[in-house]
Structure 1
C-alpha cells in the first residue's frame, strides 16, 4: 500500500510539472504588411497586420537602433487598436521629440502580442536603414571604410576614401587603434545638405562623428577637398577612439579625445602652430586640467585648446610609444580615472604630465600646484564648416546635441500615426531574456529527467523490498 502511494505521488508530481510548463499555442500568429515607412529625417512609422487564433488583447511595439550601449535596451510603445482576432496597428517614432539619429543608422523593431487565451507571440525582428531616398547614394568599400556619396564622381569619392584609409593606417601604426568593423562615412555635397539630414545640428557644423553608431557624416564641396580630408580623418579618429575606450563608468578627458583626433588629421595647420608657439613664448598656455572638460567658445582660446591638446598627445606618443598609449586607453575603458590610468601606465598624473610636456616643448614651468577642477562630461564635437579663404577661427566647442529621451508611453495615451503629438517610448531593460519556447524546452527536459529517475529508481526500490521480505 505504501509503495503504491509513493508511486502515485511521484506520477502526480510529474503530471503537475508538465501541466505547469508554458506551451506555445498551435498555429502561432500570422503577420502581414510588417513594415516601416520613413519620413526622413523627422519620423518613422511602424505598421503591421496581426492575426491570432483568439482575440488579440494587447500589442506592444519593441524597437530601437543598433548601437554600442552598456546593456540591452529595448524601447516600448503601445499602439491603439480595437481588440479582435485580426488587427492592424501602427505607431510613429517622432525624432523631433526623441532626438535625431545619424543617417545610416540601422533601426529595428518587433511586435509582442498577447491574445485572450493568454498566449504570447513575438514577431521576427525587422530592420531598416535610416537614410533619405532623395539622393542617389553610391558606395566605395574596402580597407575598413565604406564611403557613401551621391555627387562629385568616382575620382572625388576615391580620393576621400583613400584619405580615410591612410588615416586608419596612421592611427593603427602610431596609436594602436583600429576599427572592429568597417566605418560608415556619408559624404554630403555641402554643409547645409548635411545639416538638413540631422535634426538640431548646429548651423556652423561641417562634420560629425557618432562612435556609438560607427558613423561619420561630413558636408564637403568639391572646392573644399583638402579641408574635407582633414575633417574626415578627425571624425574617423573620434569613432575609433570612442569604440576603443567605450565605458559605462567614465569618459575621456577632452584634451585626449580632441588631441587624438587632431593627431589623426596629421598634425597642426600653420596658423594653429603659430598660435601654440605664441602661447609658449608669452606663457599663456592653458592648464591641462582646464582642458579635461569642454573647450572655450571664444575663437582664439578654442583653437589654442585644440593645438595644445594635439601637442600633449603627440608628446605622449613620440616620447613613450604606442604600446603605452594603448595601455592608457585600455585602462580608461575599464573605468579608471584619467589620473589613475596615467599613473599606472606612465608613472605620473595630469599635473606630472603637464610638467613633463612643458619641459619638452621649452615652456615655462606650471604656475603653482593647480588644484584639479571638476570635469564635466564632454559632449560630441561637430567639426566646423570652412569659411573660404579664411583660417577657421570659430570655436569648435562642444555643443550639446539632443539625447534620445524616452518618456513612458502608456496604453490609452500613446498616440498612433493618426494622433499628434507622438509620445516617445520608454527604454526598458529585460532582466530575463528567455522566451516561452526556451522555458518550455527546459520544463520538458526536467520532466524527462524525472521519468528517467522513476524508471531506474522504482525497480531498484521493489527489488530491495523483495530481498528484505525474503530475508525476514
Structure 2
C-alpha cells in the first residue's frame, strides 16, 4: 500500500508538470492581443503637434511611442507617451516645434508611426501615416510637378507657378552635375509678405527677425524652402536656395562643404543671377583686391566682403567647370561624399590642391596670385549660429539653414491641411513564442526517476 501511494504521488507530480507545460505552450501560441483602435493628430503650428492614441490589450499596455520623420531626413526620432498602465489606454503626447532644436519649417511633409507594447511583451507597430505641417494661419493651395510641390495662398498663384518652373529649370540645368539628386523631392512654402513670413521662420530673436527682410530660407536636410513672393528677386532666391539642397544631398558625408563651394554652385545654377555680385567682383579685379577665397570655410562678416565672396565663388566654380569640365565637378562632389577631408577630395579629383586651382583662376583674371604665408592671417568668419543669415543682395537677407540630421524620405501627394485629424485602426498578429521546454524537461526527468525507483524496488 505504501509503495502504491508513493507511485501515485510521482504520477500526480508528473501530470501536474505536464499540465503546466501544456498551458505554457498554449499561452505561447496565443499571446495577448493588442488593438490599435484609433488616433488623432492636430496641427498646432508654430507650437507643435498634438498626438492622441486609443489602444486596448488583454494585458496591461506598458509603452506607447511615436516615431517621426521630418521631410527628407531618413532617421526618425522617437518620443514616448505618458500614461497609466492599463488594458484600455487613452494616451496623449505634445511634440514641440518651437525651439531651435525642434523647429520644423512650414510645408514640411511629416511621416509618423506608432508602436505599442504590453506587459506580456507583445508589440504592435502601426502603418506609416503622413501629413503636411502647414502654417495654420492660412488656407493653403498647392501645385505639384516632377516631385516638387509649391504651397501658396491668396492671389499669388501666378508667382507660385513661376517658382515651380524656376525650380524645374534649375534642376534641369544642374542635372549633369548633381545627377539623380535633382529628382529628389523639394517642398516650397510661399509667403506673400514679410509680416506673414515672420511666424514661419525659425525661433530667432524677434528683433533680428523684424529688422531683416528674409527673402528665402533653405532647410537642406529636410528639403524644404521658404520663399517671400513679394521680393524683387524671388525667382533668383528660389533658384539659388534649391541648389543648396541639391549640394547638400550630393555631398552629405563627414566632410563639411565650404561656403565658397556651396555658394559658388548655388549662384552658378541661378537662372536669375544677381548683378550685385558681378559688380563687386569687377571692382575687386580692377583694384587687384580679391579675397583669399579657398582659405574661407565660412563666409566673411561685412556686407561688402560678402557680396565679393559670392561673386568670387560663382566665378571660381564657373572657371573650374569651363576649364576641367562638368564631369570633374561631379567627381569632386562624389569624392567629398566619400572622403575624410576636403583637401584630399580636391587633390584626388583635380590632381592639384585648392590654392593651385585658385591661382589658375586668378591668373585667368589677370590679378595677383595668392601666396600662402604664416605671416598672412586669413579673415576669420563670424561664428555661425544654428541659423546663418546671408543675402542674395544686401537688401534681400536670404538665408540658408544647415542641419545635422541625415536625409531621404519621399514627399507624398500633398493634401490641403491646416489642422489634420485622421483615424486608423489595425490589429496585432500573434507573436510566435517558444514553449516552456524547461518545465517539460523537468516533468520528463521526474517520470524517469519514478521508473528507475520502480525498477530498483522490483
TM-score scaled by structure 2? 0.73
State which drifts further: 107-116 or 313-322.
107-116
Look up the SS of the partner of 1:209 in the other structure.
strand
C-alpha displacement at 1:400, in angstroms? 8.0
C-alpha displacement at 1:117, in angstroms? 3.3
- Give the Cα–Cα distance (whole angstroms) in 2 for the partners of residues 198 and 24 of structure 1: 52
Matches of residues 142-181 of structure 1 in structure 2 within 5 Å?
Answer: 142-173=145-176, 176=179, 178-181=181-184
C-alpha displacement at 1:162, in angstroms? 1.9
2:289 matched to which residue of 1?
284
TM-score scaled by structure 1? 0.71
- Give the Cα–Cα distance (whole angstroms) in 1 for the partners of residues 202 and 322 of structure 2: 40
- Give the Cα–Cα distance (whole angstroms) in 2 for the partners of residues 297 and 251 of structure 1: 19
Residue 69 (structure 2) pairs with residue 65 (structure 1) = yes
Assess, with a 3 A threshold, how the Cα gap between structure 1 residues 353 and 21 changes in structure 2: closer, same or farther.
Answer: farther
**Does the CA-based 8 Å contact 1:209-1:382 persist in structure 2?**
no
Assess, with a 3 A threshold, how the Cα gap between structure 1 residues 177 and 393 changes in structure 2: closer, same or farther.
Answer: farther
1:245 matched to which residue of 2?
251
Q: Which runs of 5+ in 2 are unaligned?
A: 1-17, 406-427, 438-458
Q: Which has the higher contact order (CA 8 A, sep 6+)?
A: 2
**Does the CA-based 8 Å contact 1:297-1:396 persist in structure 2?**
no
Matches of residues 297-376 of structure 1 in structure 2 within 5 Å?
Answer: 297-369=301-373
Structure of larger gyration radius: 2
- Give the Cα–Cα distance (whole angstroms) in 2 for the partners of residues 123 and 343 of structure 1: 49
For residue 118 of structure 2, the aligned residue among 102, 115, 125 is 115
C-alpha displacement at 1:45, in angstroms? 1.2
State which drifts further: 312-321 or 324-333.
312-321
Assess, with a 3 A threshold, how the Cα gap between structure 1 residues 22 and 171 changes in structure 2: closer, same or farther.
Answer: farther
C-alpha displacement at 1:136, in angstroms? 2.6
- Give the Cα–Cα distance (whole angstroms) in 2 for the partners of residues 399 and 214 of structure 1: 10
Residue 235 (structure 2) pairs with residue 229 (structure 1) = yes
Matches of residues 414-453 of structure 1 in structure 2 within 5 Å?
Answer: 440=432
- Give the Cα–Cα distance (whole angstroms) in 1 for the partners of residues 110 and 238 of structure 2: 25
Look up the SS of the partner of 1:96 in the other structure.
coil
For residue 191 of structure 1, the aligned residue among 170, 194, 200 is 194
**Does the CA-based 8 Å contact 2:216-2:398 persist in structure 1?**
no
**Does the CA-based 8 Å contact 2:221-2:402 persist in structure 1?**
no
Look up the SS of the partner of 2:276 in the other structure.
helix
Assess, with a 3 A threshold, how the Cα gap between structure 1 residues 380 and 332 changes in structure 2: closer, same or farther.
Answer: farther
Aligned residues between the structures: 384
Residue 275 (structure 2) pairs with residue 273 (structure 1) = no
- Give the Cα–Cα distance (whole angstroms) in 2 for the partners of residues 230 and 276 of structure 1: 19
Assess, with a 3 A threshold, how the Cα gap between structure 1 residues 54 and 352 changes in structure 2: closer, same or farther.
Answer: same
C-alpha displacement at 1:282, in angstroms? 2.2
- Give the Cα–Cα distance (whole angstroms) in 2 for the partners of residues 290 and 397 of structure 1: 22
2:102 matched to which residue of 1?
99
Residue 214 (structure 2) pairs with residue 214 (structure 1) = no
Look up the SS of the partner of 2:215 in the other structure.
strand
C-alpha displacement at 1:21, in angstroms? 11
Please give the per-residue CA displacement for 1:340-379, whole angstroms capped at 9, x wherever unaligned.
Answer: 1111111111111111111111111113446897998996
For residue 137 of structure 1, the aligned residue among 140, 143, 160 is 140
Look up the SS of the partner of 1:179 in the other structure.
helix
Please give the per-residue CA displacement for 1:251-300, whole angstroms capped at 9, x wherever unaligned.
Answer: 2111000111111213753332221122223232111233222x123111
Cα RMSD for the two superposed structures: 3.6
- Give the Cα–Cα distance (whole angstroms) in 1 for the partners of residues 357 and 280 of structure 2: 21
**Does the CA-based 8 Å contact 1:297-1:395 persist in structure 2?**
no
- Give the Cα–Cα distance (whole angstroms) in 2 for the partners of residues 41 and 192 of structure 1: 15
Look up the SS of the partner of 1:85 in the other structure.
strand
Matches of residues 29-44 of structure 1 in structure 2 within 5 Å?
Answer: 29-44=34-49
1:417 matched to which residue of 2?
none
- Give the Cα–Cα distance (whole angstroms) in 2 for the partners of residues 334 and 20 of structure 1: 53
- Give the Cα–Cα distance (whole angstroms) in 2 for the partners of residues 264 and 397 of structure 1: 17
C-alpha displacement at 1:54, in angstroms? 1.7
C-alpha displacement at 1:24, in angstroms? 6.5
Please give the per-residue CA displacement for 1:121-155, whole angstroms capped at 9, x wherever unaligned.
Answer: 33333332211333232222224432221133433
C-alpha displacement at 1:59, in angstroms? 2.0
Please give the per-residue CA displacement for 1:311-334, whole angstroms capped at 9, x wherever unaligned.
Answer: 111111111111111000001111
Please give the per-residue CA displacement for 1:374-426, whole angstroms capped at 9, x wherever unaligned.
Answer: 998996655548xxxxx62687687888x89xxxxxxxxxxxxxxxxxxxxxx
- Give the Cα–Cα distance (whole angstroms) in 1 for the partners of residues 133 and 53 of structure 2: 19
Assess, with a 3 A threshold, how the Cα gap between structure 1 residues 327 and 297 changes in structure 2: closer, same or farther.
Answer: same
1:429 matched to which residue of 2?
none
